[in-house]
Structure 1
Amino acid sequence: MKKVVAILVLVFSMFLGTNVVSAQEFEKLNKSPMDAASYPSSYRETDKVVKVIYSRPQLKGRKINRLIRNGKIWRTGANEATEITFYKDVEIAGKPVKAGTYTLYTIPGDDEWTIIINSALNVWGSYMYNESEDVVRVKGKVTKGQESLEAFSVAFTGEDENFTMHLGWGTTRVSVPFKG
């Protein structure tokens, strides 16, 4: 009888354990992982001017113009709209922006992209984009890179208070000057 009870307890605990484990379901890995870029770029520099948090869509053999459309608002990445935080007041292409967290949208074009700093936060994609919430719009120059970037990327270069934000995907490169 003790063996039967022990077996029943063991079998029951296995079923109970299975239910507990299956209740802890985790989502699969995101195909457009989140990333961040900041200026100054070095991890040793703690006094940051700006930080961009974005998701990185992948080309996967597709052309950029099949994924983002010229003349149409884009969330500047994948998933949630890209967020940009300024830790102090800055100028973007000569236009002032106060310290704070904003959404970064873009409107792609062949020769230039419109870079939009928008006050909306916690926004998914660009579905809820509202132009009346724009803080500033500037133009970013488009150039072509030598190598193709599989994943959309953001990077910063510069010296001291003069720096440039670079957006890159495929062979498309967009640069926007900052001062801060």
Structure 2
Amino acid sequence: MTPEKGQDMLRRKRVLLGLAAIAALALAVGDVRAHGNEHGEAKATIGNAKVTISYNRPALKGRDLTKMIQPGDLWRLGADIPTTIESDADLDFGGTRVPQGKHILLARYVEPGKWTLVVSSKDRFHYEPSARIAEEPMEFENGKDPTDALTIQLSNKGGRGVIEIAWGTLRLVGAFVPAK
């Protein structure tokens, strides 16, 4: 084989490798978007903390939420990617200090009518008790009007950060305050 042919083959391999890498990346991105879940974001300033919750909004599409999650289960509060809470200042969830930065936000279905909000360093699939940063009870109620797409709202109510979660007829409310 001549040196020119060898270099030509090497160039072809590089081009094919590059195309394969681009195709693999496109498939990976397409897989996340293939579910059709739109991105949601909730922002509020609580005290001196700028807080953002980022999540993907799955739709029920006729499914029964009560059959999708069982007592004891952790719920990632979204779809495709972990739901995160990010703050530029420390927060206090039920007396537990949560350091500034980005953390995973989960919900635990304890038993019918009883839920907790979990701030974790690991997502639901890699969760272990040592990953829990904070956990506190949430208020629960059944809404009158079902919400097909998961909705998370964040607001400042009297200096407290209030997280409201709605999906189907499920309504959950959790709260935190700026850390002192």
Q: Same fold (TM over 0.5)?
A: yes
Distance in 1 (alpha carbons) for counterparts of 2:164 and 2:40: 14
Residue 148 of structure 1 aligns to a residue whose secondary structure is strand
The aligned counterpart of 1:51 is: 52
2:168 is aligned, of 151, 167, 170, to 170
Deviations 1:42-99 (A, max 9, x none): xxxxx76211111111110111112222321111111111111022111123332111
Larger strand share, 1 or 2: 2
The aligned counterpart of 2:92 is: 91
Q: Is this contact kept in 1: 2:94–2:135, CA < 8 A? A: no
1:33 is aligned, of 38, 47, 51, to 38
Per the normalisation by structure 1, the TM-score is 0.73
How large is the RMSD of aligned CA atoms in angstroms?
Answer: 2.5
Q: Which amino acid aligns with 2:85?
A: I
Larger helix share, 1 or 2: 2
Q: Which amino acid aligns with 1:69?
A: Q
Counterparts of 1:62-141 in structure 2, within 5 Å, are 62-108=63-109, 109-120=111-122, 123=123, 126-141=124-139
Deviations 1:136-170 (A, max 9, x none): 11111101222110011100233352231111111
Distance in 2 (alpha carbons) for counterparts of 1:117 and 1:111: 20
1:106 deviates by 1.3
Q: Is this contact kept in 1: 2:43–2:155, CA < 8 A? A: no
Q: Which runs of 5+ in 1 are unaligned?
A: 1-18, 42-46
Distance in 1 (alpha carbons) for counterparts of 2:175 and 2:26: 44
Residue 81 of structure 1 aligns to a residue whose secondary structure is coil
Counterparts of 1:126-165 in structure 2, within 5 Å, are 126-159=124-157, 161-165=159-163
Q: Which runs of 5+ in 2 are unaligned?
A: 1-18
Larger Rg: 1
Deviations 1:3-51 (A, max 9, x none): xxxxxxxxxxxxxxxx9xxx6967265322221111149xxxxx76211
